[in-house]
Amino acid sequence: MKPSDAKQRLIGAMIEALQRRGLHGSGLTELLAAADAPKGVLYHHFPGGKTELAVAAIEVTIARLCDSMEASMAASGDPGAALMIWINGAQKRLDASHYERGCPLATIALETTADDVEIRAALAKGFAAVRDRIATGLVNAGYEAASAHATAALLLAAYEGGLLQARVAGTPEPMALVSSALLTYLKLQRPKEPDHE
């Protein structure tokens, strides 16, 4: 087994644990068992222990999320269509987990305290990166740059809220309501076609 394999398994186990149980509901023993890794490997790759591993999991999750959003925008060129790809993917993952696996970012964000400085910093940086990607996609599609960041913040907050509510309710209805409202909002904000007279 290569050391990098163990590191990736640890990160994967932490992402899974964060989605299901959050940071404080995930013990080191179960993380190590899920990653099939001895304790020494954890501290070799993550000297800061569970906190450093959680930060790495947040960073990987953000990178995957940003890559997924870029792929959705590249495939459709339309922010509304990309949003639906993003929301439908999240809904499928939530359904497949029987409403146990939410967004690891929201799950961990809800349980952090002021003492979780490193984790909150990673989350803040991550949420900002996601908002920036969304805003860039909006601007590239012709939406006004002046309002793109505010629209991106709204889209992300509504997505996270809809996902959280769907997980708690055990039904896709909150996600469906959010996606419908967001699509309507994006249509209202859509750049006007120039008049060809």
- Structural domain span for residue 164: 58-189
Residue 164 belongs to a domain with what CATH number? 1.10.357.10
Give the pLDDT confidence score for residue 1 in this predicted structure: 47
Asked if the structure places residue 135 within a domain, the reply is yes
As for how many domains the chain has, the answer is 1
Average of pLDDT values for 150-164?
95
Asked if the structure places residue 195 within a domain, the reply is no
In whole angstroms, how far apart are CA 37 and each of 4, 18, 88? 12, 18, 34
**C-beta separation of 187 from 80 below 8 A:** yes
Structure tokens given for 123: 């989350």
Tell if the pTM clears 0.85, that is, is over it. Answer: yes
pLDDT > 70: what percent of the chain? 95
**C-beta separation of 148 from 135 below 8 A:** yes
As a whole number of angstroms, the distance between CA 40 and CA 44 comes to 6
Structure tokens given for 18: 């964060």
Average of pLDDT values for 67-76?
87
**C-beta separation of 163 from 173 below 8 A:** no
